[in-house]
Amino acid sequence: MGRQAAIQFHFWRDAHGGNAPEKMDEFWEFCPAKPNVRAFAQPLIDGMVAHLPEIDERITRYTENYDLNRISPVDRAVLRLAIYELLHREDIPPVVSINEAIELAKTFGGPDSGRFVNGVLDRVKDDLSRPLRAPAPAPKD
């Protein structure tokens, strides 16, 4: 549910010309969620916004024949979330991020969305230097 809320946030943001709501409370009124869902989603939303230029550059790099704005808004939001997780959330194993993104794309996107998202994320995954099936080891004190 938290990932779904993060996807909805970016879908909303795209629908409003790239502008986020002035206050996050506006989004949470539009997309009500339980406190635990909000607690999981908010760092994802904040991280996606903070790293959006880098994330969009990755999407553009791995979809050479697509204009970023011609990728469906749902697929774009799913890719943004998953790429943020792959690059910046070492507490989430990459395979979890990829599998969750594929399922979100299948659920909310078009008939080819799961395959499209999987293809892009597979290329991003190849850039990673951390374990794919486990969170990165915690730094030693």
- Residue 81 and residue 3 in contact, taking contact as beta carbons nearer than 8 Å: yes
Provide the residue ranges of all domains of the chain, joining segments of one domain with +: 2-125
Beta strands in the chain (DSSP E): none
Give the amino acid at 22: E
* Answer CATH for 2-125 from 3.40.50.2000, 3.30.390.10, 1.10.940.10, 2.130.10.10: 1.10.940.10
pTM, two decimal places:
0.86
Per-residue pLDDT of the chain (141 residues; tens, 9 = 90+): 889 989 888 888 887 777 666 678 887 887 888 889 889 999 999 999 899 999 999 999 888 878 888 888 899 999 999 999 999 998 889 999 999 999 999 999 888 999 999 999 999 988 887 766 767 666 555
